[in-house]
Chain A
Amino acid sequence: MVTDLKKWFVLSKRRYTQLVAAVLYNCNITGFFKGEIYKGPVKGICAPGLNCYSCPGAVLSCPLGSLQSGLVSAKYKFPFYVLGTLILFGLLFGRFICGFLCPFGLFQELIYKIPVPKLKKSRFTRILSYLKYIILMGFVIIIPIVRFEPGFCKYICPAGTAGGAFPLIAVNEKLRPLLGFLFSWKVFVFALILLICMFCFRAFCRFLCPLGALYSLFNPISFFGIKVDHTKCNGCGTCTRNCKMDVKKVCDRECVQCGECIGKCPKGAIGYGAFSIDSRENKNDLKGQ
């Protein structure tokens, strides 16, 4: 019993980092009791991960929400600051942010722990992973420019529903009469994502998240991340075979750099490193699939 409890409480370093990041993003604790959002000076800084700025605890801005609201008014003022910040985040860390610094990623991983039959990655899920690029283009870029509304926040974002809507509506009575069809739609989308995440590892990250799609473009050239030592790698494919994401090789666009493969590699060829563009080219492309 004691061992079980110890196992329950013993968290990996990554889990600690995810928890710390989630708490730091949402450290305005009083907001949860008052049903109000933080209005302090640091709210102009974009957080690297997906975290709704309408969450009562949020002290930073959501990069996607900021980008969309910037694009809504892009005709008058282009959101250079948000775009520059996103490029820097992507270039420095790539999808390491998804694996370590995204509160919604942590939420999905915890949901996945519910003991139900699990769907394994396949050719179908790999194809489905391209959907997030369509969402990035359609809901984050085109809809805000053409229809002047934040398409992703409005119709899809489950982080807004979980982090923003639920805690605000639970405490703030003034907001309740304003809820209508859109809220019902968002709750439906959130519940659906939650359900899929129980069966499918990080389903939202893999198939829908436009922030992940954006960072994935930087993954092969990010300054910090997973690297493979060519001299040790024998191309056995253990890393890709054991990975729950739709990766073809370590640190490709789908890799969230969680580091699960580090312990699995029989040759100890995988590790975290900086400025290692050349070492990302490993031999195990699709061998483990």
Chain B
Amino acid sequence: MKKKLMIVLSVFLLLTGIGLTVYGVTKGGFKDVKNKAIRICNECIGIG
């Protein structure tokens, strides 16, 4: 029973992960991440 539940959960999470990633990319998520990452993060290096 537990094994079946785990498998169902894994499949659900796999589909969710793929779905969110694809949806995020279509909504410009990749660009957003890139735009943030190509600038020096002031908080990361202790400025601010």
Where the two chains meet, the residues of A that have a C-beta atom closer than 8 Å to any C-beta of B are 37-39, 41, 43-46, 52-54, 58, 61-62, 65-66, 69-70, 77, 79-85, 87-88, 91, 149-150, 153-154, 157, 160-161, 164-165, 168-169, 175, 178-180, 182-187, 218, 220-221, 223, 277-278, 281
A85, B16: Cα distance in complex, Å: 10
A84 with B17: CB separation less than 8 A: yes
Docked Cα-Cα span, A154 to B16, in Å, equals 30
Most buried by A among B10, B16, B22: B10
* Nearest opposing residue in chain B for A44, CB measure: B34
Are A82's CB and B33's CB within 8 A? yes
- Asked if A160 and B29 sit within 8 Å, CB to CB, the answer is no
Interface of B, secondary structure class, is: helix
Within 8 A of A (CB), among B1-48: 2-3, 6-7, 9-10, 13-14, 16-25, 27-34, 36-48
* B residues neighboring A (CB under 8 Å): 2-3, 6-7, 9-10, 13-14, 16-25, 27-34, 36-48
Whether A277 lies near B45 (C-beta < 8 A) is no
- Tell me whether A91 and B10 are in contact (CB under 8 A): yes
Question: A80–B17 Cα gap in the complex (Å)?
Answer: 9
B33 engages A81 (CB within 8 Å): yes
Whether the pair B24, A165 counts as a contact (CB closer than 8 A) is: no
Q: Which chain B positions have C-beta within 8 A of A83?
A: 20, 24
User: A77's contact among B32, B38, B47, B48, by CB below 8 Å, is which?
Assistant: B32
17 contacts between A and B (CB under 8 A): A37-B39, A43-B33, A53-B41, A54-B40, A58-B37, A65-B44, A69-B41, A77-B28, A80-B21, A84-B18, A85-B17, A161-B46, A164-B41, A220-B6, A221-B6, A277-B6, A278-B3
Interface of A, secondary structure class, is helix
Residues of A contacting B10 in the complex (Cβ-Cβ under 8 angstroms): 91, 221, 223, 277
* Chain B residues whose CB sits within 8 angstroms of the CB of A69 once the complex forms: 36, 41
- Across the interface, do B47 and A80 meet the contact criterion of CB distance under 8 Å? no
Please name the residue on chain B nearest to A85 by beta carbon.
B21
B34 touching A80, Cβ below 8 Å: no
B46: which A residues are within 8 A, CB to CB? 160-161, 165, 179, 182-187
